[in-house]
Amino acid sequence: MKDGFIKVAAATPEVRVADCLWNGEQTIQLIEEAELQGIKVLVFPELGITGYTCGDLFLQDTLLNAAKKTMWKIAEATEGKDVFVFVGLPLEIKDKLYNVAAAIQNGELLGLIPKQYIPNHSEFFEGRHFAEGRAEVVDVFVDGQLVPFGQNLLFGCETAGITLAAEICEDLWAPVPPCSRHALAGANVIVNLSASNEVIGKAAYRRELAKNQSARLLSAYIFACAGEGESTTDLVFAGHNLIVENGTVLEESRFTTGLLVSEIDVQKLRSERRRIDSFAAAEREDYTEIIFSYPSMLDEVAETPLTRKIEKSPFVPADPALRQARAAEISMIQALGLKKRLQHTNCKSAVIGISGGLDSTLALLVTCKAFDLLNLPRTGIVSVTMPCFGTTDRTYNNAITLAKELGTTVREVSIKESVRKHFEDIGHDETKHDVTYENSQARERTQVLMDIANGCNGMVIGTGDLSELALGWATYNGDHMSMYGVNGSIPKTLVRYLVAYFAVEAKGTTLEKVLTDILDTPVSPELLPPEDGQISQKTEDLVGPYELHDFFLYYILRFGFAPKKVFRLAKYAFAGEYEDAVILHWLKTFYRRFFSQQFKRSCLPDGPKVGSVGVSPRGDLRMPSDACAGMWLAELEEM
C-alpha cells in the first residue's frame, strides 16, 4: 500500500436472531460495499452470523449447521476480492462448542480464533454454552478441510505491510497481560469481534480499553460490536464501533448500523516500534503466522484515498479545553526544569532579553513561574531590553509594559553605539544590511546579557524555540546561546498558544492586553530598520510559514516519514490554504536548512523536553553535522 495507509472498517449489520441465512446476506452485502470502497480489512461483530442473543438455541444442531453453512457462503462471496474479513459464529470442534472468529480471505477460510474468556456473569450466560479457547494453534477439520485453530494465529501480508491478530470481546477485558495470552505483540492490526451491551458509562470504558490496548501494543485496533436486531428482552446493543491507532481514536460510531471506515497508517506504527526499544522484548515466538496476499497485485503502488483527518497543527490540541490543560502542563514542565537548575546552582537571579516578541515573552512568563515555585521575589528577574536599528515602538513598549506588569526588574541597554563601534572595528559598512549587519546585533545582545548575569550572579535564560532550532534560524553564539533554554522543545505554533494560555489566566488586566498585542505582532528578529515605523523584516516571509515547518518537523522527526509522504500529508492537511507548489517549495527549504544547520544543534544549552519531538544532542537527535540532504531532496525533485 502506498505510504502505508490501509483502509479498514468495523461493520455492524442489522441482524435477525437465529436467522443465519438473512444475517449472511446482510454480511455479504456489506462485504460488497466494502470492496467498492477499497477496504482491505473488515471486521464483523461477535457471533454475528447467528446473533449474539440466541441463548440456549446455541445448543441446537439446526442453528449450528446453518451458521457453518453461512460461513462457507460468506467465504465464497469473498473470492477475487481484496478484502480480509473476520466474522463471528458458534462452531463445534471435537464435541465442544466454541465462540470463534473466522478469518476469511479470497474465498478461503484461513483460520479460526476461539474466545478464551467466557463470561459467567452475563444475562445470556455464555459459560453455559461455550468452551474456553486456548492459545496454542492446532489444525482441526471443518467439513473435511484442515484449518488452523487457536488464539496465537497471525495473518501477514508483506506487500501491504500488515500483520493481523484477532480477539473476541471479553478477551480485551481480561486482567492478564496481553502478551502472556496472545502473540498480539506480533500484530500491528488487532481486531475485536464484540457483542457488548449498553449501560450507562460502559461506552467510555470500552473506548479507554481499546485506546489502551492499541497504545500498549503499538498497533491499530478495530472494534466491531453487535447492534440493532439483537434481542432486547433485557439488554440493548448499540453497535459501538471504534477504529483506534496507537491510542488515538480515528473514528467512532454508536446507535447505527453499516460501515465505520478509516485509514490506518501502518508505516507510522512500524516507525513507533522501531523507535521504542522496549517493544522488541515483548514479542513472542510461540505463534503461527499465515501468509496471505490480496488478489490485486497493485498493493504496493495503489494510493489509498484518505478520509481520516490530518491535523494542520500536530503539536497543538484542537480542542480548546484540552489545549488550555496542555498549556498549563507544558508551562509547569518548563518552570520545573528551570527551578531545578536555579536550585542546583544556588542562583537567585535570572537575566532574560525581552524583545516584545512571542519567544522572549514565553520565556519571561515561565521564569516568573519558576521564581514563584521557589518563593523568590520576581525582582530577581532582570528583564533587559536592548533597542537597536530594527526596534519598533510597538515591540519596545510591549516589552517594557510586560516586564513591569510581571514585577521584574527592568533594564534598558541601547546597543546602537556599541554595534556601530564594532562595525568600525571590523571595517563593516553600516549601510550594507547583510548577515554581518544582522548577526552583529544578535551577538552584542548575547554579550550584554551574559555580562549583566555575571554582574548579578545570575543565569541567562534562553528564548529560542524548537522551530527556529530545526531551521537553524538563530545566530550562532548569539540568541543561539544561553545558560538554560526553556523554549528549546516548544515549536513556534505551540509557543503562540502557551502565551495565549497566560493571557486567559490574566483576564481583565493590563497584562492580558499586552499579551494579546504581542500575539498580534508579526514574528520578526527586528534586525533591519523599520519602514514607516512598522516591522520590515518578517520571519515567515524569509523562511516560510511556521505552521508548515512545524508540520514537516513533526512527521519527519517523530515518525521518520519519507519526503513524498510528508508532502502528501501536508497537501491533505492544508488543502485550500496553500498551493501544492508552495508546500513543495517550503518542504525543500526545510530539508536544506535542517541538514545544513545541524552544527548549531550540536552544542545547544540544557533545557526541558516537553513533548515527543526534540532536537537535543544529548538524547533526542544524535545527528552528524555533516550529513547530506541529497537523497531526501532528490525524492522531492521527482514530484
d(Cα 240, Cα 219) in Å, to the nearest integer? Answer: 20
Please name which of 344, 343, 342 lies closest in space to residue 352, comparing C-alpha atoms: 342
* Residue 633, C-alpha cell as written in the block: 531532496
Scanning 230-376, the segments in alpha helix (DSSP H) are 266-275, 320-344, 358-373
Q: Is 457 helix (H, G, I), strand (E, B) or coil?
A: coil
Question: What element of type H or E holds 593?
Answer: helix 580-596
* Residue 463, C-alpha cell as written in the block: 528564548
Question: What element of type H or E holds 446?
Answer: helix 435-455
Sheet of 153-157, strands arranged across: 248-253, 241-245, 220-225, 189-194, 162-168, 153-157, 288-291
d(Cα 271, Cα 257) in Å, to the nearest integer? Answer: 34
Q: Do 498 and 490 meet the contact criterion of CB atoms below 8 Å apart?
A: yes
* Residue 43, C-alpha cell as written in the block: 471486521
d(Cα 226, Cα 14) in Å, to the nearest integer? Answer: 8
d(Cα 136, Cα 138) in Å, to the nearest integer? Answer: 7
Please name which of 171, 177, 135, 134 lies closest in space to residue 152, comparing C-alpha atoms: 135
Catalytic site positions: 46, 115, 169
449: number of CA atoms within 13 Å, CB side? 31
* Residue 557, C-alpha cell as written in the block: 522527526
Locus of grid cell 477504529: 243
Strands 162-168 and 153-157: antiparallel
Question: What element of type H or E holds 172?
Answer: helix 170-173
d(Cα 610, Cα 262) in Å, to the nearest integer? Answer: 30
φ and ψ at 62, to 5 degrees? -60, -45
Total residues belonging to the chain: 639
Residue type, 285: E
Please name which of 289, 299, 296 lies closest in space to residue 110, comparing C-alpha atoms: 289
